[in-house]
């Protein structure tokens, strides 16, 4: 279990996955190992293995978090929140459970407490870019631009070459009417990633809102709820994947 967890934490995904397969064959009934592999399986994009191992791990908090994450991906939001609640009852220091519950709240009809939950998870993760970005967007949805900017700047301090940092800050700039700064941020984001989601949103807001912050806020929410691909995923759902990815 520890070998899988440590290699996973160090980013050695392929080696961790190979060893996990060996260890599961030797210790098929070990709940801690199964829970650790379920978390790894999410990051190597093997949902079938993640679910199988999570179910085999019983009430282990990591397994509950994995099942919650899978439910979140299926848009089964009440079930996801319940699973994350159970995981946090067992382990209050689980960053994935905090972020997961916050994201489930964020894309549900009632986003109360979403930003606080994601904040808590981001603090526990410390250097997980997606969590800080997700926290910033949660505050954007609360119209708290100042705190949103602080979260995006936190992510920027961790990695100055991540396109979503520049794009997300550009969204804040547009909503605050700082259009020159927004244009610069959009340009930098697209240099780093031509498919940068937040830069696309910032560009759309910049073009449509015409520097009107009130109009920008209304358009901002509409864009977040609009399907962005053939599967019908909304921008909020894409944000959820980035927050846990």
pLDDT tens-digit profile of 161-190? Answer: 999 999 999 999 998 989 999 999 999 999
- DSSP helix/strand/coil, 12: coil
Residue 105 tokens, joined? 């709240």
Q: What is the pLDDT of residue 241?
A: 66
- Give residue-wise pLDDT tens across range 222-240: 666 666 666 666 766 666 6
Q: Is the pLDDT of residue 243 over 70?
A: no
Q: What does the pLDDT read at residue 182?
A: 94
Confidence grade of residue 112 (pLDDT, cut at 50, 70, 90):
confident
CA dihedral over 237, 7, 118, 122, signed as positive or negative: negative
- Residues 176/212, Cβ–Cβ less than 8 Å: no
Q: Is the pLDDT of residue 200 over 80?
A: yes
Does 211 score more than 60 pLDDT?
no
Alpha helices by DSSP H, the chain: 2-9, 13-26, 31-43, 47-56, 61-73, 77-90, 95-106, 114-125, 129-141, 145-158, 163-175, 179-192, 197-209, 213-224, 235-244
Alpha-carbon span 227 to 182, nearest angstrom: 24
pLDDT score at 245: 63
Structure confidence at residue 181 (pLDDT): 95
Q: Does the pLDDT of residue 106 top 90, yes or no?
A: no
Q: Which domains does the chain have, with CATH numbers?
A: 127-245 (1.25.40.10)
- pLDDT tier at 244, thresholds 50, 70, 90: low
User: What per-residue confidence (pLDDT) applies to 208?
Assistant: 77
Which pLDDT score is estimated for 131? Answer: 92
**pLDDT surpassing 80 at residue 60:** yes
Distance CA 138, CA 136 (A): 5
Apex 244 CA angle, 137 and 63, nearest 5? 140
Average pLDDT over residues 144-172: 95
């Amino acid at each position: 279990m520890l070998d899988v967890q440590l290699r996973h934490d160090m980013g050695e995904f392929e080696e961790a996955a190979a060893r996990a397969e060996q260890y599961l064959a030797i210790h098929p009934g070990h709940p801690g190992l199964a829970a650790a592999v379920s978390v790894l399986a999410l990051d190597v994009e093997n949902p079938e293995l993640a679910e199988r191992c999570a179910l085999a791990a019983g009430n282990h908090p990591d397994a509950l978090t994995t099942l919650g994450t899978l439910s979140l991906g299926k848009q089964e939001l009440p079930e996801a929140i319940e699973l994350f609640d159970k995981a946090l009852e067992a382990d209050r220091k689980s960053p994935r459970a905090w972020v997961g519950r916050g994201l489930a709240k964020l894309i549900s009809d009632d986003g109360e407490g979403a930003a606080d939950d994601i904040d808590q998870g981001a603090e526990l993760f410390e250097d997980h870019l997606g969590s800080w970005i997700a926290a910033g967007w949660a505050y954007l949805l609360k119209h708290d631009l100042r705190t949103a900017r602080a979260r995006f700047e936190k992510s920027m301090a961790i990695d100055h070459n991540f396109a979503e940092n520049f794009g997300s800050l550009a969204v804040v700039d547009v909503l605050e009417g700082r259009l020159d700064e927004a244009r610069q941020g959009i340009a930098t984001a697209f240099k780093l990633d031509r498919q940068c989601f937040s830069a696309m949103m910032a560009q759309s807001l910049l073009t449509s809102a015409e520097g009107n912050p009130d109009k920008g806020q209304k358009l901002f929410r509409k864009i977040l709820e609009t399907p962005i691909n053939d599967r019908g995923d909304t921008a909020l759902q894409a944000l959820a994947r980035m927050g846990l990815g």
